[in-house]
Structure 1
Amino acid sequence: MAQFDADDQENAARLLGALTLVSHSAFERAVTSLILSEAARFCGPVALYATRELGDDLSYYEAMANPNDAMAPLDAVGRGADLGSEARIAAIIRNLCKGDPEKLLNHPSLEMLRATKAKAIIVVDDIVGSGKRTAGFIRAMWRSESVMSWHSRHQIKFVALAYTATRMGKGLVSGLKCKPKVALVRECPTFGEIPWHGDIEAAITALCNRYGRRTSRRGMRFGFKKTMAALVFEHGCPNNAPSILWAPVGEDSDWQPMFPDRTVLFEEASAFPPDITARDPVAMLTELAGDAEPELPPAILGESVLGLTTTMVLALVASGIRSRAALSYATGYDALECASLLDRCVARGYLTATLRLTSEGRAELKEEIRPAERSKWVPQRGEDSYYPQQLRGPP
């Protein structure tokens, strides 16, 4: 934190505090559950592959096939590669396939796909950021004439499965010729979609731009392809996040990132919670107000029959926040849970189908409470700010 000028430390603390931290256990539970859920949709075997970086114009099945055994499974990860997320995902796939080898195929060859009459190809990644890696991997599979033929006859389908994806990455992958379904645990929060005031967003962007120029990855100061991802896994920080968080120390830069060369060190790992939880609604609405006095709905400050999470969603929608990624970020809910909550709000008449507040929803937010309760919740302005020096977990 000391690397930032005094005037910038408040926004640097905001940037760190806004990160969604995904622990090993949360990641593995969620990805395992999603794989099983997607596999269950198909009546027959499905093929599982860990997404990996491949060279342009490479035909995956031809290049990876074992010349001595056409039925042998393909290598899950590249030989001699710096193994990161793909090794962790390969381990998840291996364990699942051991439990149900007839249904789940571990990196099968083209001939194994043919012999088992697999119904789906599911490629698995931790994050679809820009979409480049996942799209390139699927294109390499698509270069097989057999795969194209099976797909054209509706004998096999593609699924791009990931813990999270940005809007940009999801759009790129879903637009491929094979029209894969993109299956996610949660939408990826980006610093451009976090529910805070426009002035704060501009200040965070300026911070990443100014200090990103001091790192060894100046061209990625907003993350790869300017994604500005605001999510970090315990197994590593994506390069889609701003470079001030992860850029390695170089010959021309001595910038010390929180996650050096995208690695989460032991001290920082202790800050990763076992589960992703909701944000403080009062703090979020205060950030949305910027320098103005926040208009906090009475239902936020006291007990609400709807529950705090539903009330927070209605309050955010009332403030103009309708992005599902932003609402998922605020509630801590995954994509399925967030969609279910929004569907209930629509069904009960609190929100329209386009996620706008109805008169019924507005009435719920105006539910009165005792004035004395208000002082307990509204943060005082003008106090000295506290700037954390590093991420800390619960005691």
Structure 2
Amino acid sequence: MGPIVIVADFIGSGNRVWEMLEAFRAIATFRSWRSYHLIKFFVVAYSGTEEGIRVVQSSGLRPTVLTVAGCPTIAGAFRGAVRDAVYQLCRTYPAGHSQPLGYGHSGALIAFEHGVPNNAPPILHSDRKNWRPLFRRRSTVEANADFPPTNAEEIADRAEQMLRVQNAQRFLADARGRRWIHTMLVLAAIDGGARTAAAISAQTRLHLPTVREILAFTQLARWTKSTHTLTKLGRAELQRLRKRRARTPVLPKPSKPFYYPSQLRAR
């Protein structure tokens, strides 16, 4: 027997996938096969909210959940007074909506080429009471031309926003420059409060495998701890970046790349 794989584009509240798994669990044969480790259940999706993934994982079938990228949400993308203002805006427009943060109160800030999930705030897709949303009736057809073919442009934007690095796209084209920017984005996300690989992925727009690889590297370099918090060395590295940023950003280039150790040695 082989694995049973449930494929979805997005895990929002997680309720639908959880119900599907529980339907399998209601059948005695599947429970028996699962108890004898004859079958395993996998849920594969491009992205999902952390809360939704936890709901799916709570199924008695104990599925393995695999995603490519973390999902940005209002709760994670904004902080303090700005986040409160965004919440208020979602409650105001469109007026009188029963789920101003989307289904399951997820507040998901994600859209796909084929549409917007119902976990996104209605302010983005509902035309209730003559409101003019960005994605009318959850369709992204009119916005398809604005979607980049890859997430490289998104990462460049995040580098400019989070690190104040100008012309980031040019440096992302080079392997050494890309590695440096990705690493600094991860450190900046951790410094901003992200504590899981999914949350870091959502903030940086880096795919989860890349985030996990960088987290492993930064732990070896003793820039981060296993709890995904910065060490004294990690804070010093970010501080060096900020000092450079205050003048003119110094970025790696082929003629003068930054040094990356190939191995760590005990003193």
Q: TM-score, normalised by structure 2?
A: 0.79
Contact 2:162/2:188 (<8 A) preserved: no
Q: Name the CA shift for 1:319/1:187 in 2 (closer, same or farther; >3 Å).
A: closer
Q: How does 1:21-60 map to 2 (within 5 A)?
A: none
Change (3 A) 1:333 1:255: same
How far apart in 2 are the matches of 1:285 and 1:125?
Answer: 33
C-alpha distance after superposition, 1:320-343 (max 9, x if no partner) = 343433321333211111111111
Match of 1:284 in 2: 162
From the superposition, tell whether residues 199 and 143 of structure 1 become closer, same or farther in structure 2 (CA, over 3 Å). Answer: same
Match of 1:255 among 128, 131, 155: 131
Correspondent of 2:150 among 268, 275, 279: 275
Distance verdict in 2 for CA 1:222–1:350, change over 3 Å: same
Taking the TM superposition and a 5 Å limit, the aligned residue runs for 1:326-345 are 326-345=199-218
Distance 2:178 2:133 in 1: 44
Deviation per residue, 1:260-301 (Å, 9 max, x gap): 2211123x1111111123143352368xxxxxxxxx9xxxxx
Question: What is the aligned partner in structure 2 of residue 187 from structure 1?
Answer: 70
SS of match in other structure, 2:31:
helix
2:109 equivalent to 1:230 = yes
SS in 2 for 1:182: strand
Deviation at 1:370, TM superposition (A): 8.9
Which structure has the higher relative contact order (CA within 8 Å, separation 6+)? 1
Alpha-carbon distance, 1:357 to partner? 1.6
Helix, strand or coil: the match of 1:138?
helix
CA offset digits 1:130-168 (Å, max 9, x no partner): 011111112222222221221122111111111111111
User: SS state of the match for residue 164, structure 1?
Assistant: strand
In 2, the alpha carbon distance for the partners of 1:366 and 1:281 equals 16
Q: How does 1:108-187 map to 2 (within 5 A)?
A: 118-187=1-70
Between Structure 1 and Structure 2, the one with more helix by share is 2
Is residue 121 of structure 2 the alignment partner of residue 242 of structure 1?
A: yes
State which structure, 1 or 2, has the greater radius of gyration over its C-alpha atoms.
Answer: 1
Partner of 1:208: 90
Residue 62 of structure 2 aligns to a residue whose secondary structure is coil
Q: Is the 8 A contact 1:224 1:241 kept in 2?
A: yes
Deviation digits for residues 328-370 of structure 1 (CA, Å, limit 9, x no counterpart): 1333211111111111111111111112222222232333549
* 1:366–1:235 CA distance, 2 compared to 1 (3 A): same
Kindly provide the amino acid, as one letter, of the partner of residue 205 in structure 1. Answer: Y
User: In the TM superposition, what is the alpha-carbon distance from 1:305 to its structure 2 partner?
Assistant: 11
Letter in 2 for 1:317: I
Contact 1:130 1:240 (C-alpha < 8 Å) held by counterparts? yes
- Which residue matches 1:265? 141
TM-score by length of 1: 0.55
* Residues 322 and 340 (structure 1), Cα distance of their counterparts in 2 relative to 1, 3 Å cut: same
Deviations 1:60-114 (A, max 9, x none): xxxxxxxxxxxxxxxxxxxxxxxxxxxxxxxxxxxxxxxxxxxxxxxxxxxxxxx
Equivalents in 2 of 1:371, 1:198: separation in Å? Answer: 25
Contact 1:193 1:323 survives alignment (8 Å) = no
Cα displacement (A) at 1:307:
1.3
Show the counterpart of 1:9.
Answer: none
**For the Cα contact (< 8 Å) 2:197–2:211, is it kept in 1?**
yes
Please give the secondary structure, in 2, of the residue aligned with 1:273.
Answer: coil
Q: Is the 8 A contact 2:162 2:185 kept in 1?
A: no
**RMSD value over aligned CA atoms?**
2.6
Amino acid at match of 2:84: A
Q: Verify the 8 A CA contact 1:234 1:272 in the aligned structure 2.
A: yes
Q: Distance in 2 between matches of 1:242 and 1:362?
A: 35
Q: Give the residue type in structure 2 aligned to 1:120.
A: P
**Structure 1: any 5+ residue segments left out of the alignment?**
1-117, 287-295, 297-302, 375-395
Match of 1:24 in 2: none
AA matched with 2:111: V
Number of residue-to-residue matches in the alignment: 235
1:363 and 1:212, CA in 2 relative to 1: closer, same or farther beyond 3 A? same
What secondary structure sits across from 1:366 in the alignment?
A: helix
Match of 1:353 in 2: 226
